[in-house]
Structure 1
Amino acid sequence: MSDEVIKHVTLRRSALLSVALQLVGLVAQVGQQLHPVRGEVLTQEFEFAHEVADGRQPLVVGAPEAQALVGREVVAAQFGGRIVQTPVLETFTDPDAAARVLDEITPLYERVFAEPPYLEGPRDLAGFLEGYEAFRTMPGFRLVLARSGGALVGFAFGVLLQPDSRWWNGLDVDESFTREDGSRTFVIREIAVAPEQRRRGLGRELHAAVLEGARVERVTHAVRPEAEAAMRMYEAIGYRDLGAKPPAWEGAPVYRYMVR
């Protein structure tokens, strides 16, 4: 699309875009009152639109936010948005292939979890690497990587809970609920998204991709309660909170255990 065409379309659509943004803001306000979780998501999408307008956020082709703003090229022209490539997802189930990409995953893990509220250091990284080496050989292992322009910008992986799992220990749930047979529950061990890729739906895409084809009764994940954006995302996609406890390792912080 030439600069002249973009300018012409922009002038004709500017009023429509302005009204659209006002409507999104109104829906977000009403949504906050009627349904706090979904209302919060709508509010974030409304704020995202204005961040694009101010040049503080790039506009991602194919992202839900871009589609919601009535025409990707038009919005990019109207807001001066920088159009960037939607990340490409790749799935791994082979443990050897998963081992080969660990060198890519490690620096992203360090960068994501060095931030608040995690503030992880070398000891935490060592624990992650040790856990990853064990998880990649477990039944049901699935790893999904997200790359943009060749760079790793997100990952997720999980396994099937086995009969001897201690995942549910310490939670106030019935024994029948905690019983595992090796195919009942898929646990998402990690989801990480690079800071520059957040609030664009990549976390949800990774979540959906790591569960693709999983024939299980339920899915579970543990989340730090201080990670408010992550908590909101899981609540918005149907997870319920089972309670809080620290994991099994020494000095572990408290996590909220969620299931859907």
Structure 2
Amino acid sequence: MIEGLHLRHHSADEAKMILDQLVNLYLEVYRDDGEFYSEDRYRRHLDLHMQRVEWELVTAMADGSLVGYIYGFPLSPQTRWWDGIHEPAPHGFTDEDGKRTFALSELLVHPDWRRQGIAAALHNDLLASRSEARATLLVRPDNVDAQTAYRSWGWSKVTELRPGWEDALTFDVLVRIP
């Protein structure tokens, strides 16, 4: 890992103070990936996620700049996270109680800072602080780098899911049991 890299946990209230930095990094990471990754969509998406109980953000700072972050939240019994899941899914897979599953929603590293262990450091730091029985995430099937990293960190594909939002993509559903 990089010397001088600082990881820090943030609550939703603390994250609001650096919201523009979070959005700007997101836009830099997805600058060539089309309108689905627009600023307006991400601001709405992030705002909704930050309202979740126990939402947690970990940032990576180097040389005084935000170079990466990861965030997620536990899935409540009323979650819509699993809406659009493809069958077959294991029996009871989508049953939630607020303590069973931590949803990892974003993991971003600035393109200039990749391949230096920052994503792994963020991933490991956030998940080490969680008490849920499992974690889940959605990843594009064509994102080979992310797919490779997640598999090396112990994630497994269970099925696919296409969320109900307008113009949603179909994602692979990955799960990791600590």
TM-score when scaled to structure 2? 0.91
**Aligned match of 2:143:** 227
Shift of 1:164: 1.3
Does residue 1:135 correspond to 2:49, yes or no?
A: yes
Q: How does 1:45-56 map to 2 (within 5 A)?
A: none
Q: Distance in 2 between matches of 1:92 and 1:109?
A: 17
Q: Which amino acid aligns with 1:150?
A: G
Superposed CA RMSD in Å reads 1.7
Does residue 1:211 correspond to 2:127, yes or no?
A: yes
**Aligned match of 2:65:** 151
Partner of residue 78 from structure 2, selected from 161, 164, 167: 164
Deviations 1:12-66 (A, max 9, x none): xxxxxxxxxxxxxxxxxxxxxxxxxxxxxxxxxxxxxxxxxxxxxxxxxxx2xxx
Q: Please state whether the residue corresponding to 1:205 is helix, strand or coil.
A: helix
Shift of 1:229: 0.6
Q: Distance in 2 between matches of 1:229 and 1:243?
A: 19
Shift of 1:120: 3.3
Shift of 1:123: 6.4
| Largest Rg, 1 or 2 | 1
Q: Which amino acid aligns with 2:147?
A: M
**Aligned match of 1:56:** none
Q: Which has more helix, going by share of residues?
A: 1
Q: Distance in 2 between matches of 1:99 and 1:127?
A: 17
Does residue 1:253 correspond to 2:169, yes or no?
A: yes
Q: Distance in 2 between matches of 1:242 and 1:157?
A: 21
Q: Which has more strand, going by share of residues?
A: 2
Q: Which amino acid aligns with 1:130?
A: R
Q: Which amino acid aligns with 1:196?
A: D
**Aligned match of 1:109:** 26
Higher relative contact order (CA 8 A, sep 6+): 2
Q: Distance in 2 between matches of 1:125 and 1:137?
A: 19
Preserved CA contact (<8 Å) 1:99 1:133: no
Structure 2 segments unaligned to the other structure (5+ residues): none
Shift of 1:228: 0.4
Structure 1 segments unaligned to the other structure (5+ residues): 1-62, 64-83
Q: Which amino acid aligns with 1:113?
A: Y
Q: Distance in 2 between matches of 1:215 and 1:241?
A: 21
Q: How does 1:43-122 map to 2 (within 5 A)?
A: 63=1, 85-93=3-11, 95-115=12-32, 119-121=33-35
Q: Distance in 2 between matches of 1:137 and 1:251?
A: 23
Preserved CA contact (<8 Å) 2:27 2:38: no
Deviations 1:171-220 (A, max 9, x none): 32134221100111000110000011111111111111222321111000
Q: Distance in 2 between matches of 1:209 and 1:104?
A: 20
Shift of 1:125: 2.2
TM-score when scaled to structure 1? 0.63
Query: Percent of aligned positions with the same letter in both sequences?
Result: 30
**Aligned match of 1:22:** none
Shift of 1:127: 1.6
